[in-house]
Amino acid sequence: MARIQADFLVLGSGIAGLTFAIKAAKAHPNRKVLVLTKTDEGESNTRYAQGGVAAVWNHETDTYEKHIADTLDAGDGLCDRRIVEIVVEEGPQRVQEIIDWGARFDKEKGSDSYDLAREGGHSEKRILHYKDLTGWEMQRTLMEEADRYPNIEILEHYFALDLITQHHLGYMVIRVTPGIECYGCYALNKQNGEIDTILSRVTILCTGGAGQVYKSTTNPVIATGDGIAMAYRAKSRVGNMEFVQFHPTSLYNPAGENPSFLVSEAVRGFGAILKTAEDEEFMHLYDDRLSLAPRDIVARAIDAEMKKRGTDCMYLDCRHLDKEAFTAHFPTIYEKCLSQGVDPMRDLIPVVPACHYLCGGVAVDEYGRSSIHRLYAAGECSSTGLHGANRLASNSLLEAMVFAHRIFQDTEDKIDGWTFAENVPDWNAEGTTEPSEMVLITQSIKELKEIMSYYVGIVRSNIRLKRALDRLFLLYQETEDLYKTTTISPQLMELRNLITIAYLITRSATHRQESRGLHYTTDYPGQLPFIENSVL
Ligand code: FAD
Ligand code: SIN
């Protein structure tokens, strides 16, 4: 059981975590920046981003006002306009920064101008991309840049378990307690099974999303909402958890696959059209923007058509597109389809909605500050006010970079005034033994995903939400009993965290008695006249 000290403790090595780490390490060469990541450094949601990063780049055709208006429109009344302006206006500087660190975005043939793509809800072409592997390219760049700083240490296969606050020093901490402070975290070193105490002057949560709470998701298996669950347990405020984005087009695989493979929205931006198995278009029945309407509308339309027809998927037609251009822009998607026996140039691509992005998370202000002192959050685990009730495509990589920078700015002068906490006890594992039946954990995870997929999915209702809460409560009780008596394992912690996330989504959905953005309920199909963010 080691005790480790780091000036900056960063939880997560995706775009948010590494962007912050690089900036902090550069500005403070004598201070230690410690990054924990629960598997390999390169495994993250970031790595799988396909479409790209949205930024106003071509000032002849695009303006900040247009990007702001598109973001507000997608967010269905719940975006914080000030935050939208910050992200849109500061975003291009952050994109330039990652280009300076070595990120390659595609350029137009024979030109020095970037090849800007379009996605749903965007009124202009403004998506910078690297083929259909933008996330991989950004993750690669950040890892290489981080390697240049000797004061960044990255601990792989380290699983953060809980944030350390006054609660661990023996004080009573309840949700409304003022002045809760974060002193670091307890983390499981997966290589030796020991739980280390990691003390920090400041902690930055960059733990990403929680797609694994649903049966079908584009998110990799690491996306279990650990950071949000940890912050909630530490009594931080979390917000807007009912707004879960389902991507309309994951590749339908009858054999099932975890994660589901994404067919980027950029494919529709490139001209692909949504169709039925009978080769008929249907999006005109739902929205004037057809296949490029915002994601909530397209996902609901596909879901409705599938239910109406009793089918397992709908289709994407790319057959009219230029093969050379298509395969140059989407080589990974093309190859993946072929591997499943679908030739996008000759066949319709079977697609189905899958959980893709969590708009809610740890509630933070314009500098990424959570309601707990010395605890910040950036990226998908945070709720900044940018996305409101529905995220505009390709705005999240941008948000993560902008907020990582703002947290860096806010911590720059404060770090000297923050000290390490004393008398923090080691993790107490008294009375716990190795699990005798792993099946109790794996089966509970399966049950949880079923509950969320059937009762808290794209279309909700009071009775479904109540059923979900009742069943979640049972799972919660069983899992807490297991937690009190069983040696900590990543699987047990992920189950616990996923139950917390499921509860937060379902509870927030129950509170929202209207349909707005990504939250659609048959009991309240209209919108309330007053507009409120949810906070738990
Ligand atoms: P992540 O990149 O997910 O990183 C999270 C990190 O936290 C990981 O390193 C993980 O190991 C670590 N971690 C988690 N829990 C723990 C723990 N308990 N202990 C230690 N470490 C932990 N967005 C766009 O803007 N454009 C796109 O084109 C786009 N395409 C996408 C395509 C796919 C298939 C997916 C899944 C997402 C896409 N998104 C896209 C969304 C975007 O990729 C993510 O929102 C963004 O990358 C999140 O970055 P992050 O740094 O917050 O988290
Ligand atoms: C996609 O490429 O369709 C994903 C874009 C995003 O999630 O922002």
Query: At 435, is the pLDDT very low, low, confident or very high (cuts 50, 70, 90)?
Result: confident
Of the bound ligands, which one is closest to the alpha carbon of residue 295?
A: 2
Mean pLDDT, residues 181-191: 97
**d(Cα 33, Cα 151) in Å, to the nearest integer?**
6
**Domain ranges across the chain:** 249-353, 438-521
Atom of ligand 1 nearest to the CA of 497: 18
What is the rounded CA–CA span in Å between residue 206 and residue 16?
Answer: 6
Res. 1 pLDDT band, cuts 50 70 90? confident
Residue 431 has pLDDT above 90, yes or no: no
308-353 pLDDT tens trace? 999 999 999 999 999 999 999 999 999 999 999 999 999 999 999 9
Atom of ligand 1 lying closest to residue 129 CA? 28
What does DSSP say about strands 361-363 and 238-239: parallel, antiparallel, or unpaired? antiparallel
Radius of gyration of the chain (CA): 22
CA angle 41-46-48, nearest 5°? Answer: 105
94 pLDDT more than 90: yes
> Looking at 118, 201, 268, 295, which residue is catalytic?
295
Confidence band, pLDDT 50/70/90 cuts, at residue 278? very high
User: Is the shortest distance between the CB of 380 and ligand 1 below 6 Å?
Assistant: yes
Question: Does residue 245 line the site of ligand 1, with CB under 6 A?
Answer: no
Q: Is the pLDDT of residue 176 over 90?
A: no
pTM, full prediction: 0.97
- Cα-to-centroid distance, 177 and ligand 2 (Å): 39
* CA 264 to ligand 2 centroid distance, Å: 6
Closest residue CA from atom 28 of ligand 1? 51
- What distance in angstroms lies between residue 516's CA and the mean position of ligand 2's atoms? 21
> Is residue 404 pLDDT above 80, yes or no?
yes
Mean pLDDT for the stretch of residues 366-380? 98
pLDDT single digits (tens) 126-175: 999 999 999 999 999 999 999 999 999 999 999 999 999 999 988 888 87
The reply to whether domains 249-353 and 438-521 share a CATH topology is no
What is the CATH architecture of 438-521? Up-down Bundle (1.20)
Residue 13 alpha carbon, nearest atom of ligand 1: 9
Q: In 292-346, which ranges are continuous DSSP H helix?
A: 295-309, 323-329, 331-339
Catalytic annotation present for 201:
no
Residue 160 Cβ inside 6 Å of ligand 1? The answer reads yes
**Torsion of the alpha carbons at 442, 448, 454 and 455, rounded to the nearest 10:** 170
Q: pLDDT, tens digit, for every residue of 494-529?
A: 999 999 999 999 999 999 999 999 999 999 999 998
Full 3-state SS string of 479-525: HHHHHHHECCCHHHHHHHHHHHHHHHHHHHHHHCCCCECCECECCCC
Asked if pLDDT for residue 295 goes beyond 90, the answer is no
Q: How far apart (Å, rounded) are the C-alpha atoms in residues 134 and 137?
A: 5
- Nearest ligand, measured from the Cα of 41: 1
What torsion do the CA atoms of 149, 377, 168, 30 make, to the nearest 10 degrees? 20
Average pLDDT estimate for 102-111: 95
Band of pLDDT at residue 458, cut at 50, 70 and 90: very high
pLDDT class of 535 with cuts at 50, 70, 90: confident
Please tell me the distance between residue 246's alpha carbon and the centre of ligand 1 in angstroms: 15
**Integer angstrom CA distances of residue 228 from 51, 209, 239, 338, 513:** 26, 9, 10, 38, 24
Q: How far is the CA of 395 from the centre of ligand 2 (A)?
A: 9
Provide the pLDDT for residue 434. Answer: 81
Q: What is the b/e burial string over 363-388, where b = at least 16 CB atoms within 10 angstroms of the residue's CB?
A: bbeeebbbbbebbbbbbbbbbbbbbb
pLDDT band for position 531 (cuts 50, 70, 90): confident
pLDDT of residue 397 exceeding 80, the answer is: yes
Express each pLDDT in 21-65 by its tens digit. Answer: 999 999 999 999 999 999 999 999 999 999 999 999 999 999 999
220 CA from centroid of ligand 1 (Å): 9
CA distances from residue 432 to 330, 482, 498 in whole angstroms, order as listed: 50, 9, 21
CATH of segment(s) 249-353: 3.90.700.10
Whether residue 186 has its Cβ less than 6 Å from ligand 1 = no
Ligand 1 pocket test, pick from 10, 46, 157, 401 with the greatest ligand atom count within 8 Å of Cβ, gives: 46
Residues having CB within 6 Å of any atom of ligand 2: 50-51, 264-266, 357, 393-394, 396
- In the predicted structure, residue 412 carries a pLDDT above the cut 90: yes
Model confidence at 303, in pLDDT bands (50, 70, 90)? very high
* Ligand 1 atom closest to 209 (CA): 3
For ligand 1, what atom is nearest to the CA of residue 382? Answer: 52
pLDDT at 456 over 90: yes
